[in-house]
Chains A and B, each alone.
Chain A
């Protein structure tokens, strides 16, 4: 599905919906997990199993080509379009960059950018690096999965805060 199709779909379904962008280093682990929690693709009531996490779209499957690409994950229950993005080592200011661009286009209120890097633990960093950067998924994947399970409740908390922020904006 291309971004054009997504936009048309998004525009048709609901004019007042928002675009939520979860971003992390590779757009492969923490942002994907947060987006999945947001969309209800995995339950936020219990820590997901490794198989459940691996079944998520894009999880530990991205390549270098995906850096900087806004990848559509789905629509939430409010018809907001949820995207994930890998931004490499850009700092916290990256959310402001995205918001600044939205403001230039007169769409500041339609975009919410969420940095998931603050919820990433060392297991996720080490496992993610081994799996995606070095390409040794066999060794890195179990580590990043453990790390994701460990960070799960932190990510649930971040998603809840994001949903609260969206609710406040909508009001």
Chain B
């Protein structure tokens, strides 16, 4: 099974949720989260591979820019059209109140360049929202077991 954590950006809350699901919490400076606030990864648009869980499921993070539920619908329809089973690809939306701000910062970083400021501001925002992200992952774990 492939598990996609879907956020408005793929390199913030979705990525943290994916790593948390894999058993990895961010350390004090978030440097252990490979891909965190990586604007190049975000702009590419491709799902970001985070690792494999204990059941050999591949775990990804993906950013959708606008409407998370709309993107979830598109991905699930594409999966179905391509003949995939619902359990083959699971999409798990992750939201935090500051997601639009993070998206805006990512757009800005794409234009003026993502220096350290982008990483630090992203970290500052994400650090305050770790618990809500973890809570969402715990809810997903129950759903993933069902699949």
Partner pick for B83 among A7, A87, A89, A91, CB 8 A cutoff: A7
Question: How many B residues touch A, CB cutoff 8 Å?
Answer: 30
A6 touches B81 (CB 8 A): yes
Whether the Cβ atoms of A68 and B89 lie closer than 8 Å is no
Q: Is A107 an interface residue (CB 8 A)?
A: yes
**Residue tally, chain A, CB below 8 Å to B:** 35
Are A98 and B78 in contact (CB-based, < 8 A)?
A: yes
Contact mask B49-87 → A, CB, 8 Å, 1/0?
000000000101010111101110111011111111000
Q: Is the CB of B81 within 8 A of A19?
A: yes
Q: List the A side residues contacting B66 at CB < 8 Å.
A: 87-90
* A117 in contact (CB, < 8 A): no
Which residues on A sit within 8 Å (CB–CB) of B82? 7, 19, 102, 105, 107, 110-111
B45–A104 touching, CB < 8 Å: no
Chain A nearest CB: distance from B87 CB in Å? 12
Decide: A68 and B71 in contact? CB cutoff 8 A. Answer: yes
Chain B CB within 10 Å, residue with most, of A83, A103, A107: A107
Residues of B within 8 A of A111 (CB): 78, 82
With A3-B80, A111-B82: A100-B74 Cβ-Cβ less than 8 Å: no
Instruction: Answer yes or no: A138 CB below 8 A from chain B CBs.
Output: no
| Most chain A beta-carbon neighbours within 10 Å: one of B45, B62, B67, B89 | B45
Cβ of B88 and Cβ of A68 under 8 Å apart?
A: no
State the CA gap A84–B84 with chains docked (Å): 20
Q: Would you call A96 an interface residue if the criterion is a C-beta within 8 Å of the partner chain's C-beta atoms?
A: yes
Q: Is the CB of B45 within 8 A of A94?
A: yes
Residue of A nearest to B107 (CB): A91
* Binary interface encoding of chain B residues 80-104 relative to chain A, with 1 for a CB under 8 A from any of its CBs, else 0: 1111100011000000000000000
**Residues of B participating in the A interface, judged by any CB pair closer than 8 Å:** 2, 4, 43-47, 58, 60, 62, 64-67, 69-71, 73-75, 77-84, 88-89
Closest 9 pairs (CB-CB, A-B): A93-B45, A96-B45, A68-B70, A100-B46, A68-B73, A68-B74, A88-B66, A107-B82, A70-B77
Residues of A within 8 A of B (CB): 3-4, 6-7, 10-11, 19, 67-70, 81, 83, 85, 87-91, 93-105, 107, 110-111
A67-B67, A70-B74, A70-B81 known; 9 new pairs, CB 8 Å cut-off, are: A7-B81, A68-B74, A81-B81, A96-B44, A97-B64, A97-B71, A101-B89, A103-B46, A105-B82
